[in-house]
Amino acid sequence: MALVKTHLRSTLFFALLVVGVLFYASLIMATWPWSRLPLRQGLARSWSRYNRRILAATCHLDDEIIGLDLLPKTPCIILSRHQSAWETLVYQAIFPGIIFAVKKELMLIPFFGWALKATGQIAVDRDRGVEALRRMRKDGEQRLGEGNSIVIFPEGTRTPPGAMGPFNPGGIGLALSAQVPIVPVAHNAGLFWRRRAFTKYPGTIRLRVGPPIPTQGLTGADRKKLQDQVRQSILAMMAEIGLPESPGNKTEG
């Protein structure tokens, strides 16, 4: 019975999510021809806050944020774990003034993708290799210069809470070229909202923000050392967060 209720709550969340996508994306698109980017980004933050509220109200899934005060006052690169769709839907409600680097295919989704484009998110064409990295660096430096921080998922795809994939070089390279700090972020959202799963399990997602890692004065020769430092910081925070038993975790096997 509990599993049926959880599934029904997830269905209600999905219905409200679709309503939010249609409403906020239409609003953003309607303002695109005449508004400045900060206004459209403000609408996107309202959209993200809406997602966060309906997730808590319907699925009884909320979050606990630790270390948000460690965020620099200046633009930075946020390198975050990627475990579920939760990060994409909620991060703008948590982190002020952020832009995502997202795979280009997301821009093609009706309404949702159009809103991503209208709010200045950075599209990454992963099939174009080095050229895609150059393009992301150019677009990223522009967004940083406009006062935005950039969220990048260095693993490039969603991975389970207890595993970590290899890091792609784009985020570290952008931080080095722009000489801005890197902020590592860890969380355990995948315990409650698994990759490609419809059902969201009740509980509290724990997100930990790590101390900024400076890049001032570093060069490409320091890339590997810097990448290892970021990776170790995230692993340490994952160990602190832990992997508590949750309904979503118990059904993995």
- Enter the CATH code of domain 2-250: 3.40.1130
Residue 176: what pLDDT? 94
Residue 248: what pLDDT? 45
Amino acid (one-letter) located at 202: P
pLDDT tens for residues 185-233? 999 999 999 888 899 999 999 999 999 999 999 988 999 999 999 999 9
Q: Which residue has the tokens 């019975």?
A: 1
pLDDT tens by residue, the chain, 253 residues = 778 889 899 999 999 999 999 999 999 999 999 899 899 999 999 999 999 999 999 999 999 999 999 999 999 999 999 999 999 999 999 998 899 998 888 888 999 999 999 999 998 887 777 787 788 888 999 999 999 999 999 988 888 887 888 898 889 999 999 999 999 999 999 999 988 889 999 999 999 999 999 999 998 899 999 999 999 999 999 999 876 444 444 433 3
Residue 247: what pLDDT? 43
Contact 98, 120 (CB under 8 A): no
Between CA 95 and CA 79 the distance in angstroms is 12
Between CA 199 and CA 20 the distance in angstroms is 19
The set of residues, in sequence order, having a beta carbon less than 8 Å from that of 28 and lying 6+ positions away, is: 40, 43, 44, 47, 114, 115, 118, 119
Contact 202, 59 (CB under 8 A): yes
| Eight-state DSSP code of residue 102 | E
Contact 144, 178 (CB under 8 A): yes
The set of residues, in sequence order, having a beta carbon less than 8 Å from that of 193 and lying 6+ positions away, is: 61, 83, 84, 85, 86, 200, 201, 248
Instruction: Using the Cα atoms of residue 111, residue 102, residue 157 and residue 91 in order, give the sign of their dihedral.
Output: negative
